[in-house]
Amino acid sequence: MDSTMMDHPLSTQMIFERGERLFASSRIIGFDGATTTVTPYAQVAKRARRLASALSALGLRQGEVLGTYCWNTQAHLEAYLAVPAMGCVLHTLNVRLPAPHLEFVIGHADDRVLLVDAPLLEALAAVLPALPRVEHLIVNGPSPGNIAGFRGRVHDYEALIAGHEPMGAFPQLRESDAAAVCYTSGTTGLPKGVVYSHRSVFLHSLASMAADCFAISNRDRILMVPPMFHANAWGMPFSGWLAGSDMILPGRFLQPDNLARLIAAERPTLMAAVPTILNDLLQAHARAPIDLSSFRTIVSGGSAVSSTLIERVKAAWGVDVVQGWGMTETSPMCVLSFPPRDAKGADEVQWRAKSGRPVPGMHVRIVDDADQPLPEDGETTGHLQLKGPWVSGGYLREAPDAAPLTADGWLRTGDVGRIDELGFVQITDRAKDLIKSGGEWISSVELEIGIAALDGVIEAAVIAVPDPRWEERPLALVVLDQTTRPEPAALRAELLGRFARYMIPEYWAIVETLPRTSVGKIDKKQLREKFDGGDLSILVESRFGAGEGN
């Protein structure tokens, strides 16, 4: 028997057109650090259609790539809407990439047109002379007219779109067509390109609206905190538009004071944010109270969210934090930590502190080194693997045999973790960040959360250092509260009883700050380089008997 369903390709055009048609009066709120602008969807959609016509007139053809080098600005959102809908590919460039990587990804994706926020122009301009295939640079904000060493044309964004009529009907696309490309931050080697299809973007957006996912709705006001150049800002520019939510775009003004002001003025109902942002807001709140009670939910992820942080946010503002875990390769929504429905009170927090359960459509498993599934008993640790309709099966222009898939089609995440009886995933570490001590795995993430929860500790990172007896041992790097400054010996004593003795670090270093990657995660690669070999004896402030209790 054949299905009688019509062949209707899933596409970002369905997203664009639904927001435009049904939610003309929903609002996009911009912020320049001082004042806000309010633009209704109807006008944003019209501007996006003008942009599509303009790009077409510049010669950007179906399947070709436009790169954006922007913060969370309205022009960036207009590119999100216009570029895939017209059949081109949106390449969101990470504005924190070092110049060699920036040059590499623009060339590798073959960007023909670039859109840049004016304040970011200088960094981008530096690499343009090496990129002869870039034909047009569109500047959102004051434009210099021309750029040394750049042979293409420079355009002013507003003048460009003002000069074109809104594009009418968009071309017919296949759902497997590329819609957007985002490069992984690449903690090792060069960045790698993940190419989202129209189908995957639509499915991810629809799933984001599910009541047990982000539950994004027409009544929401989304504060767009995650950078729109990183995994599509959790997909919220697409899912928010599909649902007709108001979206508040803070530009590059993500400092706690700016966010607090925006939140007070705009009363957002939803945001996603890395734990660092929540910690910043809590610290600001401790200095002078701020009000986050307008949020119905805060989604947090990007690195592990501790129960302490979840409890502090709840205590400060009565807001529930839902933890999420995902990757650029998963669009990124993959697992979310809604507690089981009968969990209550303190019990609830323990569930929220897990990485989460797979959202509808997503499949997870843990395996051994031979890709054989392991028991999901909450105790066995293994390599986490994924499958689903918005999961990447490879990278742009990488040989198929370099694809990170198992023989049976699961994505190797490079993370290790456990899965419990209820299906909750607990990521315990990046495989390469694990400390292999005397045949046991020690999770750097679990130690970091445990140490960061101690009084007087602001942040902690744990990396492996060589050890003559145990092969590797953990080194704890801690940022201390300058008023109390607890001693490492005291911190270590507090860990006894919370961790098995063999897990507790005997190497400690007190540092001023921890280095971060371009997406705001602790840069363990840099830490490992710094503490490699000879440097160790200098920087370690406190050393206990190596391998004690192992």
| Type of residue numbered 218 | N
Residue 169 beta carbon to its own copies: minimum distance, rounded to whole angstroms: 11
| 26 neighbors 41 (Cβ within 8 angstroms) | yes
241 is catalytic: no
Q: How far apart are CA 23 and CA 241, in angstroms?
A: 9
Q: Of 402, 422, 307, which is closest to residue 354 (Cα–Cα)?
A: 307
Q: At 107, is the secondary structure helix, strand, or coil?
A: helix
SS3 per residue for 278-296: HHHHHHHHHHCCCCCCCCC
| Among 45, 496, 470, 5, CA closest to 242 | 45
Q: Distance between CA atoms of 261 and 366, rounded to whole angstroms?
A: 43
The residue annotated as part of the active site, out of 436, 440, 529, 541, is 436
Question: Whose Cβ is closer to its own copies: residue 372's or residue 482's?
Answer: 372
Verify whether residue 184 is a known catalytic residue: yes
Least CB distance from residue 112 to its own copies, whole Å? 11
- Rounded least distance, CB 138 to its own copies, Å: 20
Contact 52, 36 (CB under 8 A): no
Residue placing its CB nearer to its own copies in the complex, 378 or 466: 378
Q: Is 17 exposed, middle or buried (0-12, 13-18, 19+ CB in 10 A)?
A: middle
Residue 436 annotated in active site:
yes
DSSP reduced 3-state for 448: helix
Least separation in angstroms between CB 445 and its own copies = 24
Torsion angles phi and psi, residue 533, rounded to 5:
60, -120
Closest CA to 165 of 24, 14, 49, 26: 49
Q: Is 4 noted as a catalytic residue in this protein?
A: no
Q: What are φ and ψ of residue 446, in 5° steps?
A: -65, -40
State the catalytic residue, choosing from 329, 448, 459, 494.
329
What is residue 269's DSSP assignment?
S
Distance, in Å, from the CA atom of 24 to the CA atom of 43, rounded to the nearest integer, reads 8
Q: Please report how close the Cβ of residue 173 comes to its own copies at its closest, in angstroms.
A: 11
Q: Which of 441, 487, 517, 521 is catalytic?
A: 441
Residue 270 in contact with residue 220, Cβ under 8 Å?
Answer: yes
Closest to its own copies by CB, 186 vs 388, is: 388
How many CB atoms sit inside 10 A of residue 23's CB? 20
Nearer residue to its own copies within complex by CB, 212 or 455: 212
Between 376 and 429, name the residue whose CB sits nearer to its own copies.
376
Q: Provide the token pair at 300.
A: 């947090």
CA distances from 395 to 182, 194, 196, 430, 529 (A): 10, 5, 10, 20, 27
Tokens of 241: 């538009």
Minimum CB distance to its own copies smaller for 110 or for 371: 110
Selected catalytic residue, list 184, 269, 330, 428: 184
CB 331, min distance to its own copies, A: 9
Instruction: Please give the helix or strand (H or E) that residue 482 lies within, else none.
Output: none
Nearer to its own copies, 190 or 315 (CB): 190
Can you tell me the distance from the alpha carbon of 360 to that of 207, in angstroms, rounded to the nearest whole number? 7
Are residues 105 and 193 in contact, defined by beta-carbon separation less than 8 angstroms?
Answer: yes
The gap from C-alpha 271 to its chain's centroid, in whole angstroms, comes to 13
We find the least distance from the C-beta atom of residue 113 to its own copies, in angstroms, to be: 14
Least distance CB 520 / its own copies (angstroms): 24
Q: Which is nearer to its own copies, 249 or 364 (CB)?
A: 364
Yes or no: say if 104 and 191 are a contact pair by the CB < 8 Å rule. Answer: yes
CA dist., res. 477 & res. 463, Å (int)? 8
Write down the least CB distance from residue 439 to its own copies, Å.
32
Question: Which is closer to its own copies, CB of 256 or CB of 356?
Answer: 356
**Residues known to be catalytic:** 184, 329, 436, 441
